[in-house]
A and B are shown apart, each in its own frame.
Chain A
Amino acid sequence: MAIGEVILGYLEDPYLEGGYLLGDVNSGLPVQLDVFQTGIMSVELFALSEAQGAMGVQLIVSETLGYTQCEGEGYLEQPYLENAYLANHLCVGLGIELDVIIRRGLGIELLVRNYNDKLCRVMCDIESRGDSLTNWTASSTLTSATDSFNINNVDNDLEERVWRSNNVLTGIILDNDAGAGNTVTVDTIFMRAHNFTTSASINLLLSDDPTFTVIGQTIPISITDSEEFYYIAEDAPLSGYRYSRTTIEDPTNSNSYLQIGVYGYGQSEVFEDKCFVLPIESEDTEYADVIRTEAYTNKMNFRARRRKLRMNFKNFVYDSQDWKRLQRIIDCAGITQKALWIPTPQQPYRYASWAKLTKLPRYRNNDIGSGNQSYIDFSLETDEVL
């Protein structure tokens, strides 16, 4: 839990009773909370300390769940949803956490994310890029007449277009401003084409204060790979922040400069229930110029190594949340935009790919009825070389 947060109360099975909720939480201005999701084991209700002025919390389960949405799972329903604001019922499953974030405002805003760090996630809309192409500043940038190492290069999809420090390895600060009205909520971080060592000390500080006097959240960035870095939040982040700062110390780096190719963070689209079926196919291709020689061996000239992924999805329920999630990804990325694909967040480095879709998916529709009784098979193939 981040600094500055206090637990105001718990709402959990089987004690979904008012006694466990602070009095001022379950009264006040109503804010509608739609819960469509299956797989809720318990509800943890957190609030930030700044939320002291909140007028109240209202939790409404406004949709009647169909049996098909709780298939294989159970119901959480009255009388265990006892308060007047807790109506109807919820599907529950093991191991799913529902975090409720309370934010300060005229009323109370509840953000409910059915979050996990197990299933495939895709980051297409990279919140750290903010609303402009120049939202970064760096304390050190390698001199270039062509401005080739500008820190804003990290917002560029090209891994080879990099930021480099000006022959400095310590005390480096990279500041990011998501822009007025924007916040960055970090459940995923990625870096590509960096040159940090495993002994580098790097932290991502999140704040609503441009001077970072007050820091909302600190995320350590622990480098384990010589070129890539991925961070997957165990729990759903509670808050978003406009400003972020990356502090870097890498005094033992053998290079004279530090480098980042692509650097982004924010919220991924996290699949909650349906995901790809095994096996996942991955293929790394090393591109090289090849000369076949008279010695019957090839002379090669290295160019690049790129990863290709293929994931097969089966029985996706039409119009389910994961279906909608998939549509958002496709709408965002299409075949022209790169996205960060992390099929296995528990082992992000294994299949992580900064890639475009090779083509939009071809759906095999098993349309056995109206509405939710439509199941869809399809494949997604990504390729970093595109």
Chain B
Amino acid sequence: MGSSDRRPYETATVLDQALLDECSGNEVCDLRMLVLISVPTGAFVTDTLYLSDRNMVVGENFYDARLVFPPIKRNVGEILTPQITFSTVSLVLSNVDGLFNPIMPSGQYYKSFVNQRVIIKLGLGEVQSTYDANVIFDGFVTEVGGFQRGTKSFTLICRDKFDDLKAKFPNTFFTSAEYPNIGDNVSGKPKPYILGDWTTNLEIAKDASIPTFIVNGADANMNGEIGSTNNVQLVISENTNRVFDTTHVVIQRSDIAYVINAADVVNVNGNKNYFEIVQNSGSTLIEGVNFIFKQSDKFFVKIEGASIDGPNTYPDNPVEQARFILETFGGAAPGDFTANWDTLRDKAAPAQSAIVNIPSRIWVGKPVPALDTALSILEQIRCEGYINRSQEIDIQTMHWEDFDPSPSLVVRQDDIELNSFKMQIPDRNNINKAQGFFNFLPDIKEEYQATVLRQNAAAVAAQKEIIKGLVFPNLYVQTDVINQLDEYLKLISGGREDITVNQSWRVLTLDLGDWVKMDAKIQSTQFDGVPCWIRSIGFNSVGMKISLTYFSFQLLPFQTWNPGYSGIVGGQSASITDG
């Protein structure tokens, strides 16, 4: 008599949801983790250690049982607090038998472990391809305390390879080597980096907001100590600019702005980030007197910042600006990005989500992490960057129309670890009235404009008024900001809950940004097919369980998800009005 195979994992060659579902139905699977660690040449057969928490063969390699894997987590950050966190992975490798002594200090093949690559994979049985498809950590041994050892073991502390995305920019500075006559007040400052269109929506009085830096302030023949015969030399930015409006260079003196006569703006370089102003020419008059430089003078310009993705293709597009920053300063390669970046860059509908029509600009005058800057730009258009399970830089939206109202994967009681299912209304992102502050201008060093107060009146009536100011520093068109503000209010004014839960390996293939249908009814937590959105995911080799954080949309109707529960005040159709 035949019977079904209740251990399909023994013969499966593909780790997909169908297999996990089948194994989950039989309540057993064979999932494993392994790690590859680069080591100095010569000590072992290859320059890689193949290790695991068990002795096993995977593919063409034997993996030695030498360690216990720590939990490894990824997340997509919080709404309005866009910070991706990377796991710092600490691996403790057993060396009780001295196997690794040749690569320990004083060993024949010792070489510093710093920056050695560490890759952790998760897969099925001995099937190599399943591990290659599930890299859950890819990084390097850190330079600070990355290697420690005791008598029986040594420890490698590793950072994610995308940690480099946190590199700060701008990363070039004004120096006397480059500008021999530079003044002390400028020397050592970073050269600003500029993206986007800085010729519009500027401070009214000057109508020019990009500061310039005098790089010959110590020239006695320029600054008046000896004379004022030499030109004032000014640098706008580190980057090449697309447009420099020489007709609108503004000098600010004693809080009054004057336009430098275009005839006095000379020697503009090809990169449009350097120019000079002629003194005492008679062309530029200030208070009726020829322009002569004073130490307190400040100069501002109107420019269009760096080109992106080829000459002027997407210079103002926030998605492309974020990608450009990650590539240029975060060390990301074009191949690190998913195709979703192109898709969202070109998104043209609905109006509030038409990224292609939402211009953005950025002026960075002091070093800031590239990743933080990119995520901030994305957050302002309700997008989020994150590292997906394929170790790519991915992007998703918080656009209602992009959400999945009916996910195919259903989570039930038997997927949920006992007593781990918990939910909470977030402390910070629970507001029902907000004002948007936008259009950061570097000359005034703050957001220049603000929207009216907007509110979800129903939510205010249902609980109490919870007001918050939301900042959109890189957006400068008011309708764009109001659109984003309203959409955020719909999302965060409805009493949305965050779910934290440990689940079985059945959800192993899920990734950040994936959706599940929560169908778990456990005493006070009754979820009847509720769409939930994955915000963080962690892999724990002990038990091979998955730790997840979801956004619950139980009280947030959207698209076809309309449960009709009483007390619903948020969601896609919530009414947002002036407040």
Contact = CB atoms under 8 A, between A and B. Distances in A.
Interface of A: 142-149, 153, 158-162, 288-304
B43 to A, nearest CB: 13
Interface centre among B9, B57, B416 (most CB of A within 10 A): B57
B364 to A, nearest CB: 46
Contact of A294 (B24, B27, B520): B520
Interface in B313-362: none
B297 interface: no
Given A289-B543, A299-B24, A294 B418 contact: yes
A161 B413 CA distance: 39
B15 to A, nearest CB: 13
Given A145-B46, A299-B504, A300-B28, A294 B62 contact: no
Contacts, number: 100
A97 B48 CA distance: 55
Nearest to A304: B54
Contact of B543 (A147, A291, A295, A297): A291
Given A299-B506, A301-B28, A293 B418 contact: yes
Contacts of A291: 417, 502, 504-505, 543-545
B45 A146 contact: yes
Given A142-B60, A293-B413, 10 more contacts: A146-B48, A148-B50, A160-B55, A291-B545, A293-B504, A295-B416, A299-B24, A299-B504, A301-B30, A302-B9
B67 to A, nearest CB: 15
B61 A299 contact: no
B56 interface: yes
Nearest to A158: B55
Contacts of B418: 292-294, 296
A127 to B, nearest CB: 24
A174 to B, nearest CB: 18
A297 B27 contact: yes
5 contacts: A145-B61, A146-B46, A146-B48, A293-B416, A304-B54
B29 interface: yes
Contacts of B541: 289
B125 to A, nearest CB: 9
A160 B32 CA distance: 14
Given A145-B46, A293-B417, A303 B57 contact: no
B29 A302 contact: yes
Specify which of B24, B56, B522 lies most central, judged by the most chain A CB atoms within 10 Å of its CB. B56
B127 interface: no
Which of B9, B50, B416, B520 has most chain A Cβ within 10 Å?
B416
Contacts of A288: 28
Nearest to B9: A302
Contact of A302 (B24, B30, B60): B30
* In the A-B complex, the 9 residue pairs with the closest CB atoms: A295-B414, A160-B55, A299-B504, A148-B62, A294-B413, A295-B413, A301-B544, A144-B60, A292-B418
Interface of B: 9, 24, 27-31, 45-46, 48, 50, 54-57, 60-62, 412-418, 421, 502, 504-506, 520, 522, 541-545
A292 B502 CA distance: 10
A245 to B, nearest CB: 25
Given A143-B60, A146-B45, A148-B62, A295 B412 contact: yes
Contacts of B414: 293-295, 297, 299
A156 to B, nearest CB: 10
A294 B54 contact: no
Interface-central residue, A159, A288, A297, A301, by most chain B CB under 10 Å = A301
Given A293-B413, A293-B418, A298 B27 contact: yes
A161 B421 CA distance: 40
Contact of A161 (B48, B60, B62, B502): B62
Kindly name the residue among A147, A162, A289 whose own CB sees the greatest number of chain B CB atoms within 10 A: A289
Contact of B31 (A142, A148, A297, A301): A301
A159 B413 CA distance: 38
A240 B541 CA distance: 48
Contacts of B545: 289, 291
Contacts of B48: 146
Nearest to B24: A299
Nearest to A292: B418
Nearest to A296: B418
A289 B28 CA distance: 9
A148 B24 CA distance: 32
Contacts of A161: 55, 57, 62
B543 A160 contact: no
A292 B57 contact: no
Contact of A301 (B57, B415, B543): B543
A300 B545 CA distance: 10
